[in-house]
Amino acid sequence: MAKLATRFNATDHDTTQSDYAELPNGTYVMEVEAADVAATSTGSGTILKTTMKVLEPQEQEGRKLFTNYNIENKNPQAQEIGQRQLASLCRAIGVSAVDDTEDLLFKSFTARVALGRPSKDGQYPARAEIKRYYYPDEGNVPPAEIDATQPTAPRPANDNRPAAANSNQPAAAAEGKKRPWG
């Protein structure tokens, strides 16, 4: 056990909980608010963890999006994808080379955010992720807006409904046949 530096009184704090919802699909103006380099879960590589803050559209302002970029990974495909995503972020914020996470902070960029896929093992649900970065040098940066239509959540495999009615009737036993066991 460990002693706290001071006595914490839970009744002094608001404990109201709100329902969490992923960012809706749409185009957002964002900025990297925090970034840190860490080892991968296996310890065999390096990832860049970022916290992005929504700046626009106004109704989503201040919301967060968390991303991880594989910088070094023993899986060459994972490393290539991560480095390509990081290069896209760098181009979107107008940075050509990075040697410190400070180089990424507080520079606004526009990106398309949409719901990704749930984990293959079903442990984690689908979450919002960046699908596309828009580059100012291409001159095609769209305005920030939420998509008019949003995906619906898939129904769970077990929705606790009773089984469908079945009209099959059991067949009558054959008469006069002897059972093989006696």
Contact 6, 121 (CB under 8 A): no
Which three-class secondary structure state does DSSP give residue 61? coil
Q: What is the pLDDT of residue 154?
A: 62
Burial class (CB in 10 A: 0-12, 13-18, 19+), 53: middle
176 residue type, one letter:
G
Length of the chain (residues): 182
Mean predicted lDDT score pLDDT of the chain: 88
Average pLDDT over residues 154-165: 67
Side chain identity at residue 143, one-letter code = P
At 118 the pLDDT is: 83
The answer to whether residue 13 is domain-embedded is: no
- The reply to whether 126 falls in a domain is yes
- Give the model's confidence band at 124: pLDDT under 50 very low, under 70 low, under 90 confident, else very high: confident
Number of domains in the chain: 1
In a domain, 43, yes or no: yes
Lowest mean pLDDT among 74-88, 93-107, 136-150, 160-174: 160-174
How confident is the model at residue 133, as a pLDDT?
Answer: 97
Residue 162 is predicted with a pLDDT of 72
111 close to 141: Cβ distance less than 8 angstroms: no
Max distance between CA atoms of the chain, in angstroms, equals: 88
Global pTM value = 0.73
Q: Looking at the domain assignment, is residue 88 inside a domain?
A: yes
Chain centroid, CA 47 distance in Å: 16
pLDDT digits (tens, 9 = 90+) for 34-55: 999 999 988 889 999 999 999 9
Q: Which two tokens stand for residue 117?
A: 């896929």
Cα 65 to its chain centre, rounded Å, is 8
Residue 56 is assigned to a structural domain of this protein: yes
In a domain, 79, yes or no: yes
At residue 8, the pLDDT reads 87
Which residue range is the domain that position 107 belongs to? 26-146
CA distance 134 to 136: 7
Q: Assign 165 a pLDDT band (cuts: 50, 70, 90).
A: confident
Report the C-alpha gap between 180 and 178 in whole angstroms.
6
Three-state secondary structure string covering 91-114: HHHCCCCCCCHHHHECCCEEEEEE
Whole-number pLDDT of residue 155:
62
Q: What is the pLDDT of residues 58-108, one digit of tens each?
A: 999 999 999 999 999 999 999 999 999 999 999 999 999 999 999 999 999
Portion of the chain with pLDDT greater than 70, in percent: 92
Give me the pLDDT at residue 171, please.
75
Q: Give the separation between CA 25 and CA 182, rounded to whole angstroms.
A: 68
